[in-house]
Structure 1
């Protein structure tokens, strides 16, 4: 049984322009692409990461949190 609830919100920071945006993460899937609302850049995960939240967010995606027992 998991003691800590999953974090469902993450702030994505664009590596191109620095724009920050709060987003709600899906609980059952990874998000592969994200369009920055500041500059329009299309973000994709860094090598080794499953999604944009794991690469650019303040919290990893819920599937990764669950697998880590976070």
Structure 2
């Protein structure tokens, strides 16, 4: 499981690599460059799933679980 993701601000394009929380989804993040508040896009659980290059750990676990289920069928 990957614990780091690079968020790219949709307002200014600034990218920063952050450590993702493992037990919960992060619903808000303030861009360090322009100060814009990032919120998840509709249908996404967190800012990492919307603006990151890696989905959050809970989604990674869910995807791994789906792959295991399909692989054992």
Q: Which structure's CA Rg is the greater one?
A: 2
Q: Does 1:12 align with 2:7?
A: yes
More helix as a share of residues: 2
Q: Which is bigger in relative contact order (C-alpha 8 A, separation at least 6)?
A: 1
TM-score (norm 1): 0.91
* Matched residues, number: 65
Identify unmatched segments of 5+ residues in structure 1. 1-5
Moved over 3 A (4+): none
TM-score (norm 2): 0.87
Structure 1 residue matching 2:50: 3-state secondary structure = helix
Could you tell me how far apart the structure 1 residues matched to 2:51 and 2:33 are?
Answer: 14
RMSD: 0.9
Identify unmatched segments of 5+ residues in structure 2. 68-73
